[in-house]
């Protein structure tokens, strides 16, 4: 998507690859890390299972997006396919905005003084 927004000119393909891959890597990193970290705050008892499911979601998404991208490239040109994929990925921002904040509550357990005596 970033290469579509470049001003017209004779940019070498290497520059377009570097710009596109850099922004895509940063964007997906900003999606992946908070999604995995947020899971740890929501679950107290089965945290490892929930984190495992969240991490598996990235693999499932990668597995599903490859045929989707191929289908989009067959039906649309590369700019249309990029625009549709960017719109789908933009929904991650909406999902991230809808996550509820978790308040960290600390329970202070008072020692039982009578048991110590």
pLDDT at 105: 57
List, for residues 45-68, the tens digit of each pLDDT value: 888 888 888 888 778 888 888 899
Q: Look at phi and psi of residue 3 and say left if phi exceeds 0, alpha if psi is from -120 to 50, else beta.
A: alpha
The pLDDT of residue 75:
94
Q: What is the mean pLDDT of the chain?
A: 77
Determine the length of the chain: 117
Is the Cβ–Cβ distance between 96 and 28 less than 8 Å?
no
Segments in the chain forming alpha helices (H):
13-42, 47-75, 78-97, 113-116
Give the pair of three-digit tokens for residue 77: 């040109």
Q: Is the per-residue pLDDT at 6 higher than 90?
A: no
Tell me what the mean pLDDT of segment 31-52 comes to: 81
If pLDDT is split at 50, 70 and 90, which confidence band does 100 have?
A: low
Q: What is the pLDDT of residue 111?
A: 59
With 0.85 as the threshold, say if the pTM is over it.
no
């Amino acid at each position: 998507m970033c290469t579509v927004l470049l001003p017209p000119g004779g940019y070498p393909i290497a520059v377009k690859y570097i710009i596109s891959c850099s922004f895509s890597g940063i964007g997906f990193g900003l999606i992946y890390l908070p999604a995995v970290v947020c899971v740890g705050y929501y679950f107290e008892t089965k945290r490892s299972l929930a984190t495992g499911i969240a991490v598996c979601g990235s693999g499932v998404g990668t597995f599903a997006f490859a045929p989707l991208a191929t289908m989009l490239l067959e039906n649309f040109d590369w700019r249309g396919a990029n625009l549709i994929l960017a719109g789908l990925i933009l929904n991650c921002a909406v999902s991230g905005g809808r996550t509820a904040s978790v308040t960290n509550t600390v329970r202070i357990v008072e020692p039982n003084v009578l048991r110590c005596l």
